[in-house]
Amino acid sequence: MNQKIFLLAGLAVVLVIAAAAPFIASSNPDGLESAFFGIFGAKEIQGSKLSEEHAKAAEDKVVTITGNEFSFDSPFPDYSIEGLSKFGEVTAIIIGTILVLGIAFGLSKMIFRAG
């Protein structure tokens, strides 16, 4: 198989997965975030719904203890574009995927030229 066709087929598969991700991903927080909120009482450890009020209190408590606010602006907070619902999630993930692939491709070209 031609290398260019192989790469384009791989890119197509990656973009299909990226487009499907918001529809098949869990709406529950990931393990690390879930453990954080469980430790600070914003949710039960297993399977319960996150209380936004308790989550904010947990984050405030950590800021008080550590002095770190852990806040920064993200171009796509929570893997979404505000106001676009699922379409915003799909778009944000596809843009991120293309950016990461572009960076990886560029770095690989630079490394192979240097070596």
- Express each pLDDT in 1-59 by its tens digit: 798 999 899 999 999 999 998 888 876 656 777 777 777 767 765 656 666 777 778 88
pLDDT at 71: 66
Question: Can you give the pTM of this predicted structure?
Answer: 0.64
Q: What is the pLDDT of residue 47?
A: 59
Distance CA 2, CA 9 (A): 11
Kindly provide the b/e burial profile for residues 21-35, where b requires at least 16 CB atoms within 10 angstroms of the residue's own CB: ebeeeeeebeeeebe
pLDDT, greater one: 106 or 49:
106
